[in-house]
Structure 1
């Protein structure tokens, strides 16, 4: 009573990395016969996507990659062993990744690419909707997102979005490439409670809690019931394909229908793994998930378990993130000299309270 309780949950999509997708038709047009396996090969592909007229329209109107939204450049920082603006436990010590030498080298790489116009210059200000619109329009050749958003069974998916704008477009999903020291990975948030699960408000009665938990338990133990509540009625909301997989009826697979009829994950929450997913997913939707399964995790955020709340991070974290983000964008776009401004940048972070945050993480980290 008088407390908010949060019940964590997870599923296959939460234990897989975000991936990179590239325009395969562009690769074919340019004679690129395989996906990049190293950072250097990725760089070469971005250059060709930018300068060699990959769409064949005779115009200088394409970029290699976008790089906006919280997912950033995904495999690229992972090739240096980090994700920006994160806290890692390294050799028994808490480290803020945006102060490391690896991070400095990452910024120099991205600044070089930006100068060469391989990165869409509007990545700084574009939101996710604008980024996706540009993807559909063929403005850049590599996109970062989660496998779930590439699956055709997802309402508003990126594959259909591109196909509707260009029926001849093809996409290839590829594994994380290796960096200078052989490191690689795909971005994913370290497991946490802020998004994965559901809450009981402080005024929720015991009776309601018990009833809701019983409903949630029923989804986990009764597969047919879960399918009915998540996907709807067979013949109305979905059919089965030749392989016995659930095939959603497009006009019924919309956020509006889901909300109106009480379907999808907001109403039917259940912990699923990839084997469960395969029961209701068309074979054509599996490739992006299979790519994600092969990637190592490159965590973002607080990437270690803790035994309590970091009060210093609660009060000082926003200022630290603001300073780090400003330097990130200014460094990439060439508005600051990375080496010349580095010491002052570190000083500003410390003045904002970074050392206090690190000290508190040292105290509460479960090592």
Structure 2
């Protein structure tokens, strides 16, 4: 099983913007071959798909900085937030293949590689043109970081790793609500959670004189979404492949899932759960938390602390705009009868990374330029500061404690957007998040202790087979997941008795599940037990 090594800051100060293409020499070329031919520094046009395109402006400060530093022309193109995968696959199928893209799942990666739509990216090209990125990969994935991305011995990916993934997700409980209903000890066990849920529903925790609050809200968009910490209390993680005593198991069909469904059915019947969890999408959950309609939610730890401490903070900053005294207590989830707890976490290899279109295979010089820009925008302090913060003394200053602070009026997002700076400027490498490197830019000095107290609370397991191609799974996953969602929702809401769980497991196996598990075990042994 791939494990993350201890995060160590990547050394900075490397001069990344010198062209590898200029001059006449006998040094190794882009692929490591000896070359004596004179090379001309070409001006390439680099195009990027940007999911925050609506927050970018033409001729922005960030774009002009990158263009000037690397002698390139930058084009930002809109990337759909909702249908990105489908739109990209349609473009490729129609022959409109982008230069570069990121964040497709492994099934789509496998498909595009097999179709011949993806360019090979030689390891030597990455090492030469993105040395800091390469060092970061090796620190976290080991000496062969491309192992899981290679097909027939060739690499087609620039891996993207989410180093926060394995302990990112936590359970947040409204601390001010606990105080209001007289609970002085943070809930730990299932029984203590149930007590809090009951009082959040019945004891007017928001003090508005109405019975209009629920204990726990969530969603049922995917199998992993359905109150995962309750399943974690019984040591199971639906929607994931995990290892148990040398065998691959699937959480949704494990016996512990039946115990979790029994608890959730009880809570639902007592109106302790948000009854709209079946219909909720992410925005619905956000709205209910920010408007104080529910007091418990599962989310990333950084949603529950201020954005000035790390990255987002929506369940803290936006909530406190409505309720100034609002606060959160964070936990890994309720402990079950055997002391187990946790929730479905994120595999650090969360996607297939970044790929180049097949046509780029014949333009290694341009591919090298993309890699140089990616390396600098993710790992070079000067480049990062100019893209995100802009012009020192005009848009930001660095305080005595080393904090980076926007100067008015650029402390307002709309002014940052007008000037053309911010995290929304994606030059591929923005996906290579080295959070040690980014710490001074993300966390105010006085909030460092808050961040450190919050960031490693999460427990649980992630899908270890996510990067591995399992043909039977890809063929059957949609039908199996729809079956699971239907059974789970019906058992929680009382449309079916929980005793139907055993019937569900048998149907799941007959509908392709047994074939999936057999192939998953084989792939597990091939990739993780050698």
Bin for the TM-score computed over the shorter chain: 0.7 to 0.9
Counterpart selection for 1:315 from 475, 495, 517: 475
Separation (CA, whole Å) in 2 of partners of 1:289 and 1:266 = 27
Q: Which residue matches 1:8?
A: 159
CA contact (8 A) 2:242 2:461 kept: no
**What's the CA shift for 1:216?**
2.2
Q: Which residue matches 2:249?
A: 95
Write the mapping of 1:25-104 to structure 2, written as runs, cut at 5 A.
Answer: 25-68=176-219, 70=222, 71-104=225-258
Counterpart selection for 1:354 from 490, 506, 513: 513
Q: Which residue matches 1:189?
A: 346
Decide whether aligned partners of structure 1 residues 118 and 10 sit closer, same or farther in structure 2, where only a CA change above 3 A counts: same
Q: Taking structure 2 as the reference length, what is the TM-score of the superposition?
A: 0.62
The yes-or-no answer on 1:297 pairing with 2:460 is yes
Decide whether aligned partners of structure 1 residues 144 and 193 sit closer, same or farther in structure 2, where only a CA change above 3 A counts: closer
Counterpart selection for 1:216 from 354, 374, 384: 374
Q: Which residue matches 2:298?
A: 144
CA contact (8 A) 2:218 2:277 kept: yes
Counterpart selection for 1:345 from 504, 507, 513: 504
Separation (CA, whole Å) in 2 of partners of 1:8 and 1:46 = 41
**What's the CA shift for 1:199?**
2.3
Decide whether aligned partners of structure 1 residues 2 and 25 sit closer, same or farther in structure 2, where only a CA change above 3 A counts: closer
Q: Which residue matches 2:447?
A: 284
Separation (CA, whole Å) in 2 of partners of 1:134 and 1:327 = 26
1:167-225 deviations in Å (ceiling 9; x for gaps): 33223333444221111224312233526x32212222312211111122224552232
The yes-or-no answer on 1:202 pairing with 2:358 is yes
Separation (CA, whole Å) in 2 of partners of 1:258 and 1:18 = 34
Decide whether aligned partners of structure 1 residues 16 and 92 sit closer, same or farther in structure 2, where only a CA change above 3 A counts: closer
Question: Aligned-residue CA RMSD in angstroms?
Answer: 2.8
CA contact (8 A) 1:18 1:74 kept: no
Decide whether aligned partners of structure 1 residues 291 and 170 sit closer, same or farther in structure 2, where only a CA change above 3 A counts: closer
Q: Which residue matches 1:251?
A: 412
**What's the CA shift for 1:117?**
0.9
Decide whether aligned partners of structure 1 residues 140 and 79 sit closer, same or farther in structure 2, where only a CA change above 3 A counts: same
Decide whether aligned partners of structure 1 residues 15 and 214 sit closer, same or farther in structure 2, where only a CA change above 3 A counts: farther
Aligned-partner SS, 1:50: helix
CA contact (8 A) 1:83 1:97 kept: yes
Runs of 4+ that moved beyond 6 A: none
Q: 5+ residue gaps in structure 2?
A: 1-115, 120-155
CA contact (8 A) 1:46 1:63 kept: yes
Separation (CA, whole Å) in 1 of partners of 2:378 and 2:422 = 18
Decide whether aligned partners of structure 1 residues 39 and 250 sit closer, same or farther in structure 2, where only a CA change above 3 A counts: farther
Aligned-partner SS, 2:456: helix
1:123-162 deviations in Å (ceiling 9; x for gaps): 1101111111111111000122113333424467222221
Further displaced range: 341-350 or 265-274: 265-274
Q: 5+ residue gaps in structure 1?
A: none
Separation (CA, whole Å) in 2 of partners of 1:242 and 1:332 = 55
Decide whether aligned partners of structure 1 residues 311 and 214 sit closer, same or farther in structure 2, where only a CA change above 3 A counts: same
Higher relative contact order (CA 8 A, sep 6+): 1
Separation (CA, whole Å) in 2 of partners of 1:11 and 1:243 = 28
Separation (CA, whole Å) in 2 of partners of 1:275 and 1:241 = 19
Further displaced range: 120-129 or 142-151: 142-151
Q: Which residue matches 1:179?
A: 336
**What's the CA shift for 1:56?**
1.2
Q: Which residue matches 1:110?
A: 264
